[in-house]
Chain A
Amino acid sequence: SQWGEENLQALSIQEGEDVTMNCSYKTYTTVVQWYRQKSGKGPAQLILIRSNEREKRSGRLRATLDTSSQSSSLSITGTLATDTAVYFCATDQGGRALIFGTGTTVSVSP
């Protein structure tokens, strides 16, 4: 999991497996955004889920949001080696600048 007292988490999986990563946040947010950062690159948005949504899908990605527990998850089904990256959740603290979580490193082996 990201945030709070959690350290940076690393997951190693085989291609084709599914993976789920979690994120918890401390302050009110209007959205949770999930970003992926590949080595040597800047973050790129994967999915945005608003506070009035419980689930959002985009291709192989599925994000959930539970505002009561202030937590979100990102699942990737049928992972590929190209999914290897660090995944960050980010919140906007009620419409302010994005604040990123500590990140989850996902390594997908061919």
Chain B
Amino acid sequence: GPKVLQIPSHQIIDMGQMVTLNCDPVSNHLYFYWYKQILGQQMEFLVNFYNGKVMEKSKLFKDQFSVERPDGSYFTLKIQPTALEDSAVYFCASSSDRGNTEVFFGKGTRLTVV
């Protein structure tokens, strides 16, 4: 089936440094998402991106977070600077339409801020 690829699978970074998480969405999808999951807890919505713009974002999407998808390249989540509480698994997802259709998730990037 359609696959969302996330690179890297695990990243360890010093607090205060910048990190970029990369996502290769399903090729014909138009809507892209990032979710955050702390171990054993629920998936928490961060941001929804469409047509080059942020459509929705949650309170978890702090000012230190940014997203972009330059033409034909990865959909990225950048955190600058990182904080200890940013440690979590970040899931990228994509869909052909908004929330009323299936959303495909990647395997996640485990971010550890030390």
The answer, yes or no, to whether B42 is at the interface (CB within 8 Å) is yes
Interface string of A35-79 (1 = CB under 8 A from B): 001001111110010100000000000000000000000000000
Known contacts A97-B48, A102-B42; A42 and B100 CB within 8 A of each other: no
Chain B residues in the interface with A (C-beta under 8 A): 4, 33, 35, 40-45, 48, 55-56, 91, 93, 98-108
B108 contact set on A, CB distance < 8 A: 41-42
Known contacts A42-B105, A43-B91; A100 and B100 CB within 8 A of each other: no
A97 contacts B42, C-beta separation under 8 Å: no
Which of the four size classes fits the interface of chain A? Answer: 20 to 34
A110 CB, nearest partner CB in chain B, Å: 23
Query: A33 to B105, alpha carbons, bound, how many Å?
Result: 14
B35 contact set on A, CB distance < 8 A: 100
